[in-house]
Amino acid sequence: MALENGEKSEERSGPTGKYKVVLMLRVMAILATAAATIVMALNKQTKTFVVATIGTTPISATLAAKFHHTPAFVFFVVANGMATVHNLVMLVVEIFAPKLDYKGLRLAIIAILDMMTVGLISGGVNAAVFMAELGKNGNSHARWNKICDKFDSFCDRGGASIIASFIGLLFMLLITTFSIIKLLKPISHHNLP
């Protein structure tokens, strides 16, 4: 009973250090995944190339590189967008409903959703990295040409977006670790002799 009263008085006195760290990590994850989403979603570059010459007259074609031309980049944008929304919702829940918990159920649900978000971001960023590598180096066996030598700005912005997503993934891993530790902490108190 005294331990419970001590815990309750600690919650009433204000956010603890770990609580503030998790909130800060969520804000950083929101910023990173939102930046990755926005940069990739707005990523496009148009260039005009000479494709043939008839006599002395060059024939030009205008080509565009856009994120939605590649399903892996579309998945990347959706995954990071969903991670941003997840973290916004969890931030609101943690700020405005910290005491609404039934035997650790809220903490368990948050930990599970955080783990699912880690998997989602990881899948999206890894798909984007695969396509970025293909765009940078091509694949001579499949006869796929590289495009980053022609659409350098598109590739640079895509790379920046991938880096932002990896940073968001790192923050989500830390958040998930704290969520699991927070979830397991009451169990360790009950197991003490």
Residue 7's pLDDT is what? Answer: 46
CB atoms under 10 Å from CB of 107, counted, come to: 17
- pTM, 2 dp: 0.79
Residue 15's pLDDT is what? Answer: 53
CA distance 14 to 149: 54
Confidence of residue 130 (pLDDT cuts 50, 70, 90): very high
Residue 17's pLDDT is what? Answer: 67
The ranges assigned to domains in the chain are 21-185
Mean pLDDT confidence for 154-176: 95
46 pairs with which residues across the strands? 64
Q: How far is CA 38 from CA 68, 126, 128, 187, in A?
A: 13, 18, 15, 41
CA distance 112 to 105: 11
- Residue 109 has which token pair? 């649900």
Confidence of residue 111 (pLDDT cuts 50, 70, 90): confident
Helix/strand/coil (H/E/C) assignment for every residue in 22-79: HHHHHHHHHHHHHHHHHHHHCCEEEEEEEEEEECCEEEEEEEEEEHHHCHHHHHHHHH
pLDDT exceeds cutoff 90 at 121: yes
Confidence of residue 16 (pLDDT cuts 50, 70, 90): low
**Half-sphere exposure at residue 103, Cβ-oriented, CA atoms within 13 angstroms:** 0
CA distance 103 to 89: 21
What confidence tens digit (pLDDT) does each residue in 139-163 have? Answer: 888 878 888 888 889 999 999 999 9
